[in-house]
Chain A
Amino acid sequence: MRSMGERKLIVLVEINKRLCKDCGYCMHFCPKKILAESKERNSRGYFYPELTDPDACISCGICATVCPEGAIELPPKGED
């Protein structure tokens, strides 16, 4: 993790690839288009989203909102 003193935006999106079923909603709705399908499959055989440009993430939470499985989380700031 970056230190709290750093000015750069902290990437908050956490993707639990184990829960993903590759519906593609997160990638479709991401306003910055910085989620892309993985090359690897998860344990259930699904491709899952990966952040292609963490620095561009604005932590809007849309990916977490639209994920049917709850596979994407944005942990509260200050924790971790």
Chain B
Amino acid sequence: MGDIKFMKGNEAIAEAAVRAGCRFFAGYPITPQNEIPEYLSWRLPEVGGAYVQGESEIASINMVYGAAAMGARAMTSSSGPGISLKAEGISYLAAAMLPALIVNISRGGPGLGSIQPAQSDYLQATKALGHGGFHAMVFAPNSAQEAADLVYTAWDYAERDRNPVLLLMDGCLGNIMEEVQLPPMREMKDEDLPEWSLTRRNGRDYQGNITPIYTEPILEGINTMAGEMYKAWEEDDVKVEEFMLDDAEYVIVAYGIASRVAKEAVLRLRAEGHKIGLLRPITLFPFPKKQIRDLDYNRVKGIIDIEMTIPAQMREDIELQVKDRCPVYEYGRSGGCLLDDEGVYEAIGEILAGGENNG
């Protein structure tokens, strides 16, 4: 299956989605994710799917809501300002227990912010994707290849949980071109369409309904079940990459583009004899609590949170697991200014020397 292509992260997401069985996309133009709708606008019709350019992000997410209710593998993509607008629809997806993939190719914020890459939507992605207190699983790849691989499995999780999945990736990764080994095309059969969905193509011969509104005791029950599901994710679905952690005295925690820059710094500092490693969350929700909680704090002298946003947003999640057993430092860039090898190397160097840059 050697289907290797040289493509942008955004294109890899789009093609992997098609191969995962995605047959409906609705979206609204926003930089830096435009390659995703552009690609799917011609690609989906090739495989019998539908592409709709919505009149807004709000309309687009609700189109996804409609398609998902029919059991179709449906997705939308946007960037921070558009994800804010989609918040309504994402909350309704969670309430109606509908699977879907939402992609956020993030940029500098808040507000219209900057069209340049940033990791400023961590809190939105993991804590409050919409009103009502729900969560979606959040995948944070750090390469076009990993983005394609995660997208390919996204609907398996979404359909298992009947819950939306968010892929959070910054504009840098969305736009750099890399070699990608594409997954095989999945064959989607009508009879496999979910039993709960409103389609009749799966042979359902009884009345079906899907609603985001419930009577009070039912809603409480649904929310309780969701709480249990989030706990189960922590047990079963956390994905992390651990790099040179075995003897590490300093542990960098970084995801996405920041993790790639951090890895370069680790290699350089290791060459200089520093015992430093990298813990990279691949799922931001569920957060790798256990992996951080269970570090050997007799050995670990400090945790360094590196994010392409100021102030750091993941820091509180880290601190909750570290529980004051060692200092937590942060370094970042923001507003569309990129993390670079030299800056990260120097910042970590200062931290190792006993200070903190930009903390």
Establish whether A and B are touching in the complex (CB under 8 Å). no
Interface positions of A (Cβ within 8 A of B): none
